Structure 1
Amino acid sequence: MGIRDRLISTSILRAIFKADAPRKNDSAHPSLLARIWAFFAVFHLTLARYRASLFKKLRNDVWGIDEEGYTESFRSPSKSKRTDLVAIGDLGYSGSTFFTTPNSKYLIKSLPRHFEQSFFRDRLLDPYVEHMELNQDSLLVRITDLLYSPTATLGAALGMAPSHHIIMENILYGKSSCSKDQQKRWETYDLKPNDYFYPERDVANGNLAPESVKERLIDEFDDKVRVTIDQKEELIAQLSRDSKILQANNAVDYSLFLVRYPADLNTADSDKVPTPPGRGSSWRNGVVSRDGIWVYRAIVLDFFWAKDALQAQTLTGLVKLFNLVKPGKDHGPMSITTTSDEYRQRFLGMVDDMVEVPDSTGRPAGELRNPAPVAADPM
């Protein structure tokens, strides 16, 4: 771990372990001297828990996460070793950096872009909490904490260190308990509808971005998720409920994070792969494929982009400019500039197409027995 990552890790851990005296407001204002001192921080920012009591209620009452176990997840399992988060680098096209807790139960993701921070904090958080309370099997990723810098800092202004981090469940929990050879058999897919317009991939023969960037735009899943009819209907119904709240709040560009690992890792010859912490659900803990070859896990990630954000409006204009520059080819909307309703339709259609169930004769079929229109929401 480099010096930057170590200092960011220390800032996160200090916010988690800080034993604040009870106070009426989670967001009490720091003193003027503290603000001046904090402003000159570059990497080691002073972070605080945003609406700490709200997230604690989610952890304990809604998701059944033991509070002491949650806090201990951030400590080193060895008392002789320094406690540090585990840096896993830049995994996203947005430039976010990621850490895991030492026991790999939780993932920490930075939110470096202001419009993502403000959208989740100011617009989506309360509907998200209400939805989670009413839908305990929701497949929206469980966000267990939001850390933020309560004062302006030089490091955040210069982009040297992120001022906001979300802590969330790690759907890959259990992988690290496998042997190195077994870990190589785990597969992950960050899936979005791939029929949108991606300038980095589609314009000027794809030369606007290096291959390392284009590889992070969208994943391709070239197989089928083979489950029972009931399991598919459960998945589609839950994703329909989850995407409805995102549509209602004008969110686009979210993705289905699909994990699969060989089912033989759960055989009697080896320790059973542990499931993510908290109250379980079938698609979060793992669904075994009909042929008994794979175990699937799935959650919804990255719902931080609002269609009406300035960036989305600017990029909509950029698409129109591309159409003027390259006449004769009408570039369609990008995943981040389309309407929330259309994105939801395509997202659910993508999932429906990739999940294969047997028809009444026992042969594989890609369609539900009685597929309901997307508009017919359970909510």
Structure 2
Amino acid sequence: MGRRQRLVSTSILRAIFKPARSKDGEKRPGLLSRILAFFSVFQLSLSRYRAELFRKLRNETWEIEEEAYTESFRSPSHGKRTDLISVGDLGYSGSTFFASPNSKYLIKSLPRQFEQSFFRDRLLKPYVEHMQLNPTSLLVRITDLLYAPSASIGAALGVAPNHHIVMENILYGKSSCAKDCQDEWETYDLKPNDYFYPERDVAGGRLAPESVKERLIDEFPDKIRVTIDEKEELVSQITRDTKILQDNNAVDYSIFLVRYPASASSTENGKIPTPPGRGSPWRSGIASRDGEWIYRAILLDFFWAKDAIQAQALTGLVNTFNFMKWGRDHGPMSITTTSDEYRTRFLRMIDDMVEVPDSAGQPSGQVPETLIEEV
């Protein structure tokens, strides 16, 4: 890692290992602490947001043992604090990612203020309530929210993120495979691809280089082949999960799909380990009907609100593109459409990509009518 990444890693680890307070919430930093924090550039002073709330989620809802959770951030060989593993910039939003030393958890920065405030002030309460009622929900399990309680030069300049989420890693277990096995794991970050993406669609797609356009949307070149019951379970759960996103005006979320060869499901040391905490079929792994693949899936990136100022501004930009015509009417972007319409297209995408046998034994992509009516 570079110097900047090491300092950001140190900030995250200090927050995680900071002794817990007896009451939820943080005591307001003193004047001297705020002055020192203000002049920080990369190594910000971070704290846990609503620490007791997230601890309860970890321990009671997801059945993650607290000591094991904390130890995930220590060196597995020395039992001491160590740098997090830099996973680089994986997101189009500019987010940076780290992994815990044992790869059980990912740490993602939230560099945009409107994403931070949307999750913290608006979505967190319904998210927690939904998780408590649906412990096998496929919404990604966010185990901690770290934030900087004091202003700093680094955050103001945008060189150091002042908010991070710690979340489960459904790729956990990949590193237990041999190198050739790891190369066979496939990941897809999927959202409806029939929206308007200016970087891809306007003026022949010349608004952005190919390296940027490649990260806009993934396409799954196959079908998920499972039983009827497994498809019903998947669609039913995603229908419930996306309902709270719709109710809170969230758009642009995606399903993160992992698949790896079923032949790799066992290693020399036993079976490939599954993500930590309470198990659920689509987290632990669903075998394809033909026995060729193991699938895992969760819902990610539900931090963009349709009524955010940025979304409203982009809606105006899209309307301008359409007024000028640029050859055709482009329609909405995934970040400017309504939450109702986005959810409808998202569920249709899930329905189309999962293939089950019909009563005659032939492949079918249709989901039961009762589940479609729920939308």
Q: Same fold (TM over 0.5)?
A: yes
User: Once structures 1 and 2 are overlaid, which stretch shifts more, 112-121 or 266-275?
Assistant: 266-275
More deviation in 222-231 or 74-83?
74-83
Q: Distance in 1 between matches of 2:255 and 2:79?
A: 39
Deviation at 1:136, TM superposition (A): 1.0
Count of matched residue positions in the alignment of Structure 1 and Structure 2: 375
1:333 alignment counterpart? 332
**How far is the alpha carbon of 1:270 from its aligned partner?**
6.5
Per-residue deviation at 1:21? 4.4
Counterpart CA distance in 2 for 1:131 and 1:82 is 34
Deviation at 1:374, TM superposition (A): 3.7
Q: 4+ residue runs of structure 1 moved beyond 3 angstroms?
A: 267-270
Distance 2:169 2:179 in 1: 19
Structure 1 residues 82, 97: closer, same or farther in 2, change over 3 A?
A: same
* % identical aligned pairs: 73
Residue in 1 that maps onto 2:370: 372
CA contact (8 A) 1:240 1:374 kept: no
Is the CA contact (8 Å cut-off) linking 2:73 and 2:81 kept in structure 1?
A: no
| Contact preservation (8 Å) 2:203, 2:326 | no
C-alpha separation in 1, matches of 2:78 and 2:336: 49
TM superposition score normalised by structure 1: 0.97
The offset of 1:265, in angstroms, is 1.1
CA contact (8 A) 2:190 2:254 kept: yes
Query: For residue 136 of structure 1, what is the aligned residue in structure 2?
Result: 135
**1:177 positional shift:** 1.1
Which AA in structure 1 matches 2:169? N
Give matches, 1:339-354, under 5 Å: 339-354=338-353
Which residue matches 1:306? 305
Amino acid of the structure 2 residue aligned with 1:70: Y
**Counterpart in 2 of 1:62?**
61
- What amino acid is the match of 1:334? M
Q: Is contact 2:74–2:80 with CA below 8 Å preserved after alignment?
A: no
Deviation at 1:176, TM superposition (A): 1.1
Partner residue, 1:284: 283
| Deviation at residue 373 of structure 1 after TM alignment | 5.1
The Cα of 1:25 is off from its aligned counterpart by 4.3
The alignment status of 1:7 with 2:2, answered yes or no, reads no
The answer for the alignment partner of 2:151 in structure 1 is 152
User: Do the aligned residues in 2 keep the contact of 1:354 with 1:366 (CA within 8 Å)?
Assistant: yes
Quote the Cα distance in structure 2 between the aligned partners of 1:357 and 1:375: 19
Question: Aligned to 2:6, what secondary structure does the other structure show?
Answer: helix
Unaligned runs of 5+ in 1: none
- For 2:246 and 2:106, locate their aligned partners in 1 and report how far apart those are by CA, in whole Å: 25
CA contact 2:24–2:52 (8 Å) conserved in 1? no
Q: Contact (CA 8 Å) 1:345, 1:374: kept in 2 or not?
A: no
Contact 1:146-1:166 within 8 A present in 2 as well: yes
- Give CA-to-partner distance per residue, 1:226-275, whole Å, 9 cap, x none: 00000000000000000000000000000000000000112476631110
Letter of the 2:110 counterpart: L
**Pairwise CA RMSD:** 1.3
Q: Deviations over 1:53-77 (max 9, x none)?
A: 0000000000000100000000011
Partner of 1:173: 172
User: Can you give the 5+ residue segments of structure 2 that lack an aligned partner in the other structure?
Assistant: none
Aligned pairs for 1:13-28 within 5 A = 13-22=13-22, 24-28=23-27
Range moving further from structure 2, 287-296 or 262-271: 262-271
- Work out the CA distance in 2 between the residues paired with 1:248 and 1:375: 17
